[in-house]
């Protein structure tokens, strides 16, 4: 009588080592060994002991390097096998935590004194608080106002490109071509320094100049996004509106544009996040946005790199917040596509 097969435990079955996993393990071991972990700061990023993994006379110990490479490859391979046993949301959360810890170890490996973030200035605020209330707030309102004007310009330029009117088409295509074909930094200089050459009435302060430059530049890029979104609405929607006797203006406002927003929102959200970081270019005019503020505080305390790290983290947090807002807007305009 044949012996029955042992029962299969699902999570153990998912952890079974395949040939692909074996290849991954060998590849990782070779990569870590090639890094010469025992003699580099990369080793200290993973395991503190690796920073002192050297042989006699300070020369790297190849035997120790091989052992460390195998150990790290085994840890990562086991981590991948364990993740297979978890549900998808937990996998995502687990990997996020791991990558965040890796980022913290990376920052810590720089050997910088991050305590400068919490030192108080003359006004009694910590450097980090001042960086947020002055630099981040300026970056936010410059970006928010700019994206609003950019959307208006983008919609106008997109409608001009789709228009049968020769002048409207010519103006919109010239605008898009010029502002997409020249660097944003050059546009900032042309507006802030060039416009006053036409007369004192054209002179603007630094912040309005920065907002105008960002609006014009990103409006040109977003015009193509709006045009593609409008063209992405099926032609049958136009025919249905005509059959109902709706006028072209009403058709666009009530039928075409709301459906186009489903295609417009994702790339527009990406453009806004890019604008959030490109707003640092207005610092050339003396605006104390996030990057400029971090540099000034850092130079004052001789801790420029530490403050730039803080600015990078703040940029990242703001981007994550707007990504969440974008996902909610996408969900709102995508309700008609749900099944």
Q: Domains of the chain, with CATH numbers?
A: 10-104 (no CATH), 127-337 (1.10.3720.10)
Q: Is the pLDDT of residue 182 over 50?
A: yes
Query: Average pLDDT over the chain, rounded to whole?
Result: 81
Instruction: For 146-157, write each residue's pLDDT tens digit.
Output: 999 999 999 999
3 state SS for 14-69: HCCCCHHHHHHHHHHHHHHHHCCHHHCHHHHHHCHHHHHCECHHHCECHHHHHHHH
Q: Is the pLDDT of residue 213 over 90?
A: yes
pLDDT band at 8; cut points 50, 70, 90: very low
Instruction: For 31-56, write each residue's pLDDT tens digit.
Output: 666 665 444 555 545 444 444 444 44
């Amino acid at each position: 009588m044949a012996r029955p097969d042992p029962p299969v435990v699902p999570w153990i079955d998912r952890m079974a080592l395949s040939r692909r996993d074996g290849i991954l393990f060998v590849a990782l071991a070779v990569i870590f060994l090639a890094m010469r972990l025992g003699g580099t700061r990369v080793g200290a990023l993973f395991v503190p002991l690796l920073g002192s993994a050297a042989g006699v006379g300070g020369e790297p110990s190849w035997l120790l390097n091989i052992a460390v490479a195998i150990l790290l490859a085994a840890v990562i391979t086991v981590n991948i096998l364990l993740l297979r046993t978890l549900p998808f949301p937990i996998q995502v959360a687990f990997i996020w935590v791991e990558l965040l810890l890796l980022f913290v170890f990376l920052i810590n490996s720089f050997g910088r004194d991050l305590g400068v973030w919490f030192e108080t200035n003359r006004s009694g605020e910590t450097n980090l608080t001042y960086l947020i209330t002055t630099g981040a707030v300026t970056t936010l309102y410059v970006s928010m106002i700019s994206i609003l004007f950019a959307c208006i310009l983008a919609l106008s330029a997109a409608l001009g490109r789709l228009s049968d009117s020769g002048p409207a088409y010519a103006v919109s295509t010239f605008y898009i071509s010029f502002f997409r074909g020249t660097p944003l930094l050059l546009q900032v200089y042309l507006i802030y320094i060039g416009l006053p050459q036409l007369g004192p009435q054209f002179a603007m302060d630094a912040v309005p100049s920065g907002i105008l430059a960002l609006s014009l530049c990103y409006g040109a890029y977003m015009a193509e996004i709006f045009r593609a979104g409008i063209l992405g609405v099926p032609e049958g929607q136009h025919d249905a509106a005509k059959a109902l006797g709706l006028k072209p203006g009403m058709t666009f406002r009530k039928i075409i544009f709301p459906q186009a927003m489903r295609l417009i929102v994702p790339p527009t959200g990406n453009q806004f996040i890019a604008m959030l970081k490109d707003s640092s270019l207005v610092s050339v005019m003396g605006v104390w946005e996030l990057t400029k503020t971090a540099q000034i505080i850092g130079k004052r305390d001789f801790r420029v790199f530490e403050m730039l790290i803080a600015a990078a983290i703040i940029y990242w947090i703001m981007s994550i917040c707007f990504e969440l807002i974008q996902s909610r807007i996408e969900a709102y305009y995508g309700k008609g596509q749900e099944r």
